[in-house]
Structure 1
Amino acid sequence: MFGYVTICEPELKVKDLKKYRAYYCGLCRTLKEEYGFMGQMTLTYDMTFAVIFLSSLYESVADMETHRCKAHPVKKQLMLRNEITSYAAAMNVLLAYYHMEDDWQDERKVSSLMTKSMIRGKAKTIIEKYPRQSRVIRESLCELAECEKEESTDLDRVSGCFGKLMEELFLYREDMWEKELRRMGFFLGKFIYLMDAYEDLPEDLEKNRYNPLRRIYGEEGYEARIHQILCMMIAESTAEFERLPCLIDVDILRNILYDGVWSRYNKIQMKKSEEHKK
């Protein structure tokens, strides 16, 4: 469900692209150092955005480092890290832990049970350190699981579960920016969930799996309605973003929020257009 909040590389300046990659590599390095190989496997673009965004909002200075890694064994890679990087790494692992737990409970996937067991100790430490986020993530995923069992087609309710999860992740501190951070995270979460449902719908229909969009699929104006809903969600999120005093790396953040989040949607439309021509 993650991977939608990323950059639109062709529209990004070279210096900003270099900096974005440095934040991404910094998060990857932190996951490896603090949570091992399994932690590193939870790396997402979405949490990279959270690092850059929260670092900008709180003007948190990142330390610049260079390291080699398995992905880049020859040349050392530039990395940017600060205390927010550690927070994002913890949230990455926590999300993965609860996701594996749900997979085991719902589908009895042995692979999920094994992965969950391998990161259980680290996850418990995170839960103790971040009880607020942990509680809301667990409750939101449980509510989402209930919606799936009921085969709910209430888009507002279902996407709202993931919205509540994302708003809690964005609330790094309960301070004067809480209202804006919550609304920004909430609507971005709804956008992510609905975009994921839209992308997965053809395969879900083929395999007869749950998808909240099944009811309206095939109705006249389906594509236009989905596009309108997605536009509304991201518009609400960006409106809150623009109210926040983010000045550092603002070009990267706007590239992601106004262009990057639509990358997968645009690829889907291109694929549909090609299939239609054939």
Structure 2
Amino acid sequence: MFGYVVLNKPEIKFKDFDMYRSFYCGLCRELRERYGISGQITLSYDMTFVILLLSALYEPPTRKGTTRCIVHPVRKQTVRKNAITEYGADMNIFLTYYKCKDDWNDEKKILSLAYGKLLESKEKKSEQQWKKKIDVIISCLNELSEMEQEGETDIDRVSGCFGRIMAEIFAYREDVWEPTLRRMGFYLGKFIYLMDAYDDVEDDVKKGNYNPFAKDYIIKGFDDRIKNMLLLMMAETCREFEKLPIIKYADILRNILYSGVWCRFESISRKRREEREKEDV
């Protein structure tokens, strides 16, 4: 996925970081076991957050173990997995496959085409298991692709389309918590889309690719305007999160929602500010 829904590592307790990493490693192992190495490469922080959130809410039986991997060949790493990990792995494969297709259609990236081909059969497996949900997501992805091809300038409309995709992923069950999870996913999805557009705007303009901020990013005050948009999205996301009866992993989830999601924004805005200052000298 995108990698914006992350921990603020300096601000988290060691025990909480270890817990988070065990779910991250659990997703990594699940992807490897279900989809092989090509599936394992799709590992993302964003889906780790979804797994942690849904695990905290529904508290499914969770298996704890240890494993070694290429990244940690010497010391065994703690791994936690449950039914939601399996769900997250399936969603991760599906979204990565369609992102590869989108990259190929938009930018003709050979690497994306090749990787998409590797994932194609794996994507079919996840699609069969979650057909109703996948149908909704595909419809949203097609709508989003059409808007991007038409050069849609309504930022709320475009980001809302991706928000509906995340809403569908967050809605793990049809139960009393589904509306809250959908709203939370919707606003977090909008945040992710806006953040990705903000991150990529300069490269997209240079390459002639679609970006909803293409005409605005050189205007004075652009960074502040985007930050206000993102603040609104995260305020709504956090409002919905606080409605959920979550006790387990709550400190980890709050670290991500209230702090971690801003790490990338601060990094990008600081870099651009420094570049502008150099140009003014």
Tell me the secondary structure at the aligned position of residue 243 of structure 1: coil
Tell me the secondary structure at the aligned position of residue 6 of structure 2: coil
Q: How does 1:1-278 map to 2 (within 5 A)?
A: 2-278=2-278
Tell me the secondary structure at the aligned position of residue 28 of structure 1: helix
Residue 277 (structure 1) shift: 4.0
| Distance in 1, Cα, partners of 2:228 & 2:110 | 40
Residue 256 (structure 1) shift: 0.2
Compute the TM-score of the two structures, normalised by the length of structure 2: 0.94
Letter aligned with residue 171 of structure 1: A
Residues 14-48 of structure 1: CA distance to partner in whole angstroms, max 9, x if unpaired? 10011111110110001000110111011100000
| Distance in 2, Cα, partners of 1:14 & 1:218 | 41
271 and 100 in structure 1: CA distance in 2 versus 1, 3 angstrom threshold:
closer
Residues 101-146 of structure 1: CA distance to partner in whole angstroms, max 9, x if unpaired? 3344455544434333323222222111101221122111111111
Is 140-149 or 102-111 further displaced after alignment? 102-111
Tell me the secondary structure at the aligned position of residue 242 of structure 2: helix
Compute the TM-score of the two structures, normalised by the length of structure 1: 0.95
203 and 104 in structure 1: CA distance in 2 versus 1, 3 angstrom threshold:
closer
Is 154-163 or 96-105 further displaced after alignment? 96-105
Letter aligned with residue 269 of structure 1: S
| Distance in 2, Cα, partners of 1:140 & 1:5 | 21
Residues 129-170 of structure 1: CA distance to partner in whole angstroms, max 9, x if unpaired? 101221122111111111111111110111011101100011
| Distance in 1, Cα, partners of 2:206 & 2:98 | 27
| Distance in 2, Cα, partners of 1:229 & 1:80 | 35
| Distance in 2, Cα, partners of 1:105 & 1:231 | 32
Letter aligned with residue 48 of structure 1: T
Letter aligned with residue 6 of structure 1: V
| Distance in 2, Cα, partners of 1:103 & 1:193 | 15
Letter aligned with residue 213 of structure 2: L
Letter aligned with residue 16 of structure 1: D
267 and 144 in structure 1: CA distance in 2 versus 1, 3 angstrom threshold:
same
| Distance in 1, Cα, partners of 2:260 & 2:109 | 33
Letter aligned with residue 117 of structure 1: K
CA contact (8 A) 2:152 2:212 kept: yes
Letter aligned with residue 223 of structure 2: E
CA contact (8 A) 2:167 2:184 kept: yes
**Pairwise CA RMSD:** 1.6
CA contact (8 A) 1:64 1:80 kept: yes
Residues 191-217 of structure 1: CA distance to partner in whole angstroms, max 9, x if unpaired? 000001011112222222211012333
Letter aligned with residue 170 of structure 1: F
| Distance in 1, Cα, partners of 2:120 & 2:224 | 43
Count of equivalent residues: 278
| Distance in 2, Cα, partners of 1:128 & 1:46 | 23
Is 180-189 or 207-216 further displaced after alignment? 207-216
